[in-house]
Chain A
């Protein structure tokens, strides 16, 4: 309850600054909160608007699922098996620092300009973030926990299920929360190319027509998308890692 109240004052502060900016710069440059809300209500009555929102949400959700399924099990394995880590580490160290976004032309060439190409780009970026965090979390599992489990008769599979996975889960949620910021930013970028649907296109299209109100509607929707994702992971963590909140 307290955190919800804290949210309220932060929202009020941001709205206040926004309103002030609109007053100082004029509605032609910065559309004020009231104007944008009114426009959002109008837009929300059109099917086309929801198709933009739906396209973006689908791409983000698909990329999150794909990268999660690919990166988390691999991270758990690398963090808990020295041999596997030794083999794969050079590959990760060489590829991790490369800014993945510069691979965009190549990715679009391979996967096409449509949804597969965009989802692939988002997934590649998320994959590395999730992989590194999960691997480091799995490395932190101490020997005594492993001894305990094996002495109770546990197999390697039990170790993953009862020790490594639950121990790493908070780290995985942290990685997902950090990834939400990245994924929305990259989404805007990939949706500026080769598509007629998605919030990235929606904003750029409005920009081209100098429709300031629509630009702001698009920004608000992307911001909300980020907040919703962040809050979802936060809630899931509170649900699945109750022991962490004690």
Chain B
């Protein structure tokens, strides 16, 4: 068996079954994959293919029914200081200002709020003039930048993004994808992105895992596409970008 010592996060035969009133719901079938330090992957697939479940397992918020998740060679049983999470509906707290939202992780972890980390992050994400605003005073794109700032304030080694830009218009979405790519080039954190948008997967995932649902067994990974230029500055619009987009699309259609 390959030694996974260098892996940042390692999911081995993880599966998830929820027990509901109508019997078991198979959310995710046995799945094995890993993300290396500084690597970015995109999980792409139709609704209900278990990609969000997989992300929740990687965040430590949900426990696998079978198999194990190891983060930096340690069994992951609870949310980890070095894993950041950004959710589709931002998960911001409407009763906290932008600054309070971004500082919350540091406050909860009883880490110093002093120093310029939060201020620098806010200015990098073009939120400097919005620090005293409440989330409901911001546009969708601005809210998602706040959520990003909040996750990055803890300097994560692994950033998990669950359909982060699904609710945004195309231009805002592309701008934010470019912004995430830029943040990644500067910081080189590991990243796992869940999306049903093919372009988004190709823009940000240096490795793209295509998932499908097998009724009665839950979702599973059925194909993998290498995409080494993802996250590079001018990738969108290049020939390679279009080629990879078509390739991912073919894989999705093949397994649909």
Is A bound to B?
yes
A residues adjacent to B (C-beta < 8 A) = 144-145, 147-154, 158, 162-163, 166-167, 169, 241-243, 246
The reply to whether A246 and B85 contact each other, CB–CB distance below 8 Å, is no
Interface readout for B68-90 with A: 1 if CB under 8 Å, 0 if not? 00000000000101011101110
* Residue in contact with B79 in the complex, picked from A153, A162, A242, CB distance below 8 Å: A153
Q: Tell me the chain B residues, 129-147 only, with Cβ under 8 Å from chain A.
A: 134, 136-137
* Residue in contact with A154 in the complex, picked from B84, B95, B108, CB distance below 8 Å: B108
Is there a chain A Cβ closer than 8 Å to B105's Cβ?
yes
The reply to whether B95 and A144 contact each other, CB–CB distance below 8 Å, is no
Of the candidates A148, A149, A162, the one having the most CB atoms from chain B within 10 angstroms of its own CB is A148
Given contacts A153-B79, A153-B81, A246-B137, contact A148 B108 (CB under 8 A): no
* Residue in contact with B109 in the complex, picked from A147, A153, A169, CB distance below 8 Å: A153
Report the separation of the CA atoms of residues A148 and B109 in the bound assembly, to the nearest whole angstrom.
Answer: 14
Given contacts A150-B79, A152-B154, A246-B137, contact A158 B108 (CB under 8 A): yes
Is there a chain A Cβ closer than 8 Å to B168's Cβ?
no
Q: List 26 A-B contacts (CB under 8 A).
A: A144-B89, A144-B91, A145-B93, A147-B56, A147-B85, A148-B91, A148-B93, A149-B104, A149-B108, A151-B59, A151-B79, A151-B84, A151-B85, A152-B109, A152-B150, A153-B81, A153-B109, A153-B154, A158-B108, A162-B104, A163-B93, A166-B95, A169-B95, A241-B95, A243-B95, A246-B137
Given contacts A152-B154, A162-B93, A163-B93, contact A246 B134 (CB under 8 A): yes
A246 cross-chain contacts in B, Cβ below 8 A: 134, 136-137
Q: How far is the CB of A87 from chain B (nearest CB, A)?
A: 19
Report the separation of the CA atoms of residues A153 and B85 in the bound assembly, to the nearest whole angstrom.
Answer: 11
A147 cross-chain contacts in B, Cβ below 8 A: 56, 59, 61, 85, 87, 91
Given contacts A144-B87, A241-B95, A246-B134, contact A151 B104 (CB under 8 A): no
A153 cross-chain contacts in B, Cβ below 8 A: 79, 81, 105, 108-109, 154
Report the separation of the CA atoms of residues A148 and B150 in the bound assembly, to the nearest whole angstrom.
Answer: 10
Q: Tell me the chain B residues, 83-117 only, with Cβ under 8 Å from chain A.
A: 83-85, 87-89, 91-96, 104-105, 108-109
Residues of B in contact (CB 8 Å), total 27
Other A-B pairs beyond A144-B91, A243-B136, 17, CB < 8 Å: A147-B61, A148-B85, A148-B87, A149-B108, A151-B59, A152-B79, A152-B108, A152-B109, A152-B154, A153-B81, A153-B108, A162-B93, A163-B93, A166-B96, A167-B95, A241-B95, A243-B134
Q: Is the interface of B mostly helix, strand, loop or mixed?
A: loop
Report the separation of the CA atoms of residues A131 and B88 in the bound assembly, to the nearest whole angstrom.
Answer: 33
Report the separation of the CA atoms of residues A200 and B188 in the bound assembly, to the nearest whole angstrom.
Answer: 72
Q: How far is the CB of B118 from chain A (nearest CB, A)?
A: 14
Given contacts A162-B93, A166-B95, A243-B95, contact A152 B104 (CB under 8 A): yes
* Smallest Cβ-Cβ distance to A245: which chain B residue: B134
Report the separation of the CA atoms of residues A169 and B93 in the bound assembly, to the nearest whole angstrom.
Answer: 14
Given contacts A151-B61, A153-B79, contact A243 B94 (CB under 8 A): yes
Q: How far is the CB of B80 from chain A (nearest CB, A)?
A: 8
Q: Tell me the chain B residues, 11-30 only, with Cβ under 8 Å from chain A.
A: none
Report the separation of the CA atoms of residues A154 and B60 in the bound assembly, to the nearest whole angstrom.
Answer: 13
B105 cross-chain contacts in A, Cβ below 8 A: 152-153
B95 cross-chain contacts in A, Cβ below 8 A: 166-167, 169, 241, 243
A243 cross-chain contacts in B, Cβ below 8 A: 94-96, 134, 136
Q: How far is the CB of A24 from chain B (nearest CB, A)?
A: 51
* Smallest Cβ-Cβ distance to B153: which chain A residue: A152
* Smallest Cβ-Cβ distance to B89: which chain A residue: A144
Q: How far is the CB of A236 from chain B (nearest CB, A)?
A: 15
A152 cross-chain contacts in B, Cβ below 8 A: 79, 104-105, 108-109, 150, 154
Q: How far is the CB of B112 from chain A (nearest CB, A)?
A: 15
B134 cross-chain contacts in A, Cβ below 8 A: 242-243, 246
Report the separation of the CA atoms of residues A104 and B91 in the bound assembly, to the nearest whole angstrom.
Answer: 47
* Smallest Cβ-Cβ distance to B60: which chain A residue: A151
